[in-house]
Amino acid sequence: MPDAIPSNRQQHQYQFETTLAYGFPAFRDRLTITPALSLALSADSATYGLAFETLAEPV
């Protein structure tokens, strides 16, 4: 007979998520360009992403 209440292990989905990003100086160090990669893994799926960010230094 199956349990009516799921065990603690069945209630939680274990997942691994990581992001890798690095800022590169540009335009005489007045701008920082940051590309980023992300990866998320779970038992039944995988998700990945690509991001891009710029940051301007105050003049």
- The model carries a pTM of 0.61
Other beta carbons within 10 angstroms of residue 21's beta carbon come to 12
pLDDT digits (tens, 9 = 90+) for 23-55: 999 998 899 999 999 999 988 889 999 999 999
Q: What is the rounded CA–CA span in Å between residue 11 and residue 58? A: 49
Report the pLDDT value the prediction gives residue 44, as an integer from 0 to 100: 86
Q: How many CA atoms lie within 13 A of 57 on its CB side?
A: 12
Q: What is the rounded CA–CA span in Å between residue 44 and residue 12? A: 13
- Give the DSSP H/E element, type plus range, for residue 11: helix 8-11
Q: What is the rounded CA–CA span in Å between residue 23 and residue 53? A: 9
